[in-house]
Structure 1
Amino acid sequence: MSEAEVRTDGLHGQRPGRQAVPGAKGGRTKRQRRDRRGERSMVPDADFTSYYGRPIIKEPTWRARDIAGYLFLGGLAGASSVLAAGAQATGRHRLATSTKVGALGAISLSTAALIHDLGRPSRFVNMLRVLKPTSPMSVGSWILLGYGPAAGLAAVTAVTGRFPGIGRAATGWAALTGPAVATYTGVLFADTAIPAWHGAYRELPFLFAGSAATAAGGLGLLTAPRAENALPRGTAAFGTAVELGTAHLMRRRLGPLAEPYERGKASRLMKAAEVLAASGAITGVLAGGRSRVVAAVAGAALLAGSAATRFAVFEAGRASAADPKYVVTSQRAGAQSGQASRT
């Protein structure tokens, strides 16, 4: 029973904080809304909170240097093999050799970074015990196994000049499997529960493909002679257009889930990637064919921009996993799309 008493001069003895005043400042409601029948709702907006403020999902424990570096180097290797095949077919032999060697070095470092993050080489070997088509990681491990030896043979035969037939076959196989090496990590990241990655499942493979082409074009501009750099200049321009265009479309489509890409460290990295890639591509196209030094500077900018994109994606995913708001937003979006597909 309430201890309040009604007297002739008013209400006395009322306990403070027990009176509900709809719409009053400091009350439970943040705003009054109308439902479908036009009636105002007194239910407050949901807060994006979790148990004791703890993350809803576990933040990735991967090291940025290892995994983001693995993403960048794998993309560089795969796209460089495609560029090498094109250079070989058009008679640009020095460009073909430099990109084959670059592809071998990049895939070697990429695999080393992955194994370092796994902790023991045996864990990578264990992933090859079975082939599970529904697992991007399992499929990716087999892609790496099929690509790596071909990239190695292509590079060794190009440097030594021996066994040209085997070298051509290895170059062709590396070029066929290179796009899968460059893009499967986008599928792998999108298959996780990390909101900023899972929500971008449509764009990440294309973003990684464009970033890989940007890096391969940069490598070609950095290592090839001026007379042979027309092909890497075109590759860099194409890759940069795909990379920057896809990144813009991704952030636009993600809506609130795009915030991790637009704040903090990920935002700084993404902006740096845009500036470096765009300036490198424009410089390479306009002046890379006239000056070897300018071409090398443009190539270095393209490589740095591609790397910044991969690190930005990694940091955005880590930030989205740490904030319950993005997890709830992602789950609601999935539930709403499921309801829409059933109706």
Structure 2
Amino acid sequence: MSEAEVTRDGVRHRRPGREAVPGGRGGSRGRGGGRRRRNGRKGRGERTMVPDAEFTSYYGRPILKQPTWKALDIAGYLFLGGLAGASSLLAAAAQASGRPGLARPCKIGALGAISLSTAALIHDLGRPGRFANMLRVMKPTSPMSVGSWILAAYGPAAGVAAVTGATGLFPRIGRAATGWAALTGPAVVTYTGVLIADTAIPVWHGAYREMPFLFAGSAAASAGGLGLLTAPTAENGPARSTAAFGAALDLGTGIVMRRRLGPLAEPYEQGKAARLMRAAEVLTGTGAVAGLLAGGRSRSLATVAGAALLAGSAATRFAVFEAGRASAADPKYVVQSQRSPEPG
């Protein structure tokens, strides 16, 4: 209890430091009585003595278990799978429009890309049997399980389409295989975006809405680049259109994704991921414009455009991979993603 007495002459028996401060309300006010605001300042513009909270972890150690994936395996798997699926779709369009000079290299390119993509995945898994084990059951809630079955459904069709297209044998079977590969190709293109967004990696999980569209645009740009690189100039019209559409979707989705991620997009703006993303944007944009300018006239310009589009698509996948690895290594992004509201 307070021992102070209030008289006409003032307060007697005052004990400094032990009396309640008039107008104070516990921890809601500072020593000067000014109410603290959420921005770390008092109501009268004075700074508080307590620093703002920082997003960190115990001794700054990583919170998530660091991915052991190799960039060449996983980023290569993402890029090659997208190239394969989009190339099958472009091959079907070229075949339907009577452009065998474009359809044939796209079919062969799709088979080569999906073969290398599967090899990269198996190499990362360590043993081929692990891939076969994923086909023992069908688990709709697992993107990896669904993706394994998508690859199993797509790969043989892409192989038959490529072999019949190269040899000219069994044209009816070849057309059917081309149609099935085109039907399953979009799933091959986009399921990898769903797969990585289903992880706990902050930059990937936070972009679960945009990642499939980003991968679809990047894949379409790479397929258009393959067509520009290999098809005769007189038949590369669908390749130019596909490249332009894919580049627009890729670049536009990338901007929307980073804007919606907010502070979580920081890994895309620094370090190796930033350099790769800038290179991807320049190569993809330049390749699309060069492809449109090439038209059906300049073989050399079409070749340059195709190479730039393929390189830009690969750089996009490697940038996404590196940004994810950086966000998993820094506890700031992990804690921030848990404490902040959902982006967007």
Common fold by TM > 0.5? yes
Map 1:142-161 onto structure 2 (within 5 A). Answer: 142-161=149-168
Which residue is 2:40 aligned to? 32
Which residue is 2:175 aligned to? 168
1:33, 1:42 within 8 Å by CA — same for their partners in 2?
A: no
1:74, 1:239 → 2: CA distance?
A: 15
- Alignment pair present for 1:46 and 2:65: no
2:331 is matched by which residue type in structure 1? P
2:162 is matched by which residue type in structure 1? A
- Alignment pair present for 1:233 and 2:240: yes
Which residue is 1:5 aligned to? none
1:208, 1:243 within 8 Å by CA — same for their partners in 2?
A: yes
Which residue is 2:17 aligned to? none
2:98, 2:57 → 1: CA distance?
A: 61
Counterpart secondary structure, 1:269: helix
- Alignment pair present for 1:191 and 2:192: no
Offset at residue 39 of structure 1 (A): 11
- Alignment pair present for 1:309 and 2:288: no
Map 1:1-343 onto structure 2 (within 5 A). Answer: 32-33=40-41, 43-333=50-340, 336-337=341-342
1:49, 1:176 → 2: CA distance?
A: 46
Counterpart secondary structure, 1:171: helix
Offset at residue 52 of structure 1 (A): 2.1
2:159, 2:220 → 1: CA distance?
A: 20
Offset at residue 44 of structure 1 (A): 3.3
Which residue is 2:3 aligned to? none
Q: Which runs of 5+ in 1 are unaligned?
A: 1-21, 24-30, 339-343
1:34, 1:272 → 2: CA distance?
A: 46
CA deviations over 1:139-166 (Å, ceiling 9, x no partner): 0000000000000000011111111111
Offset at residue 174 of structure 1 (A): 0.3
* RMSD over equivalenced CA pairs, Å: 2.0
Offset at residue 249 of structure 1 (A): 0.4
2:61 is matched by which residue type in structure 1? R
1:50 is matched by which residue type in structure 2? S
Offset at residue 329 of structure 1 (A): 1.1
Question: After TM superposition, where is structure 1 displaced by more than 6 Å over at least 4 residues in a row?
Answer: 38-41
Offset at residue 47 of structure 1 (A): 1.7
Between the aligned residues of both structures, percent identity stands at 79
1:211, 1:240 within 8 Å by CA — same for their partners in 2?
A: yes
1:320, 1:326 within 8 Å by CA — same for their partners in 2?
A: yes
Q: 1:90 to 1:39 in 2, by over 3 A?
A: same
1:324, 1:81 → 2: CA distance?
A: 41
Offset at residue 337 of structure 1 (A): 4.8
1:137 is matched by which residue type in structure 2? M
Offset at residue 289 of structure 1 (A): 2.1
1:33, 1:106 → 2: CA distance?
A: 58
Offset at residue 294 of structure 1 (A): 1.0
CA deviations over 1:295-338 (Å, ceiling 9, x no partner): 011100000000000000000000000011100111113xx459
2:86, 2:220 within 8 Å by CA — same for their partners in 1?
A: yes
1:39, 1:45 → 2: CA distance?
A: 14
1:314, 1:40 → 2: CA distance?
A: 41
Q: TM-score under structure 1 normalisation? A: 0.86
2:182, 2:197 → 1: CA distance?
A: 24
2:206, 2:342 within 8 Å by CA — same for their partners in 1?
A: no
Which residue is 1:9 aligned to? none
2:229, 2:303 within 8 Å by CA — same for their partners in 1?
A: yes
Counterpart secondary structure, 1:211: helix
2:131, 2:42 → 1: CA distance?
A: 56
Offset at residue 83 of structure 1 (A): 0.1
Which residue is 1:3 aligned to? none
Offset at residue 43 of structure 1 (A): 4.7
Q: Which runs of 5+ in 2 are unaligned?
A: 1-29, 32-38
Larger Rg belongs to:
2
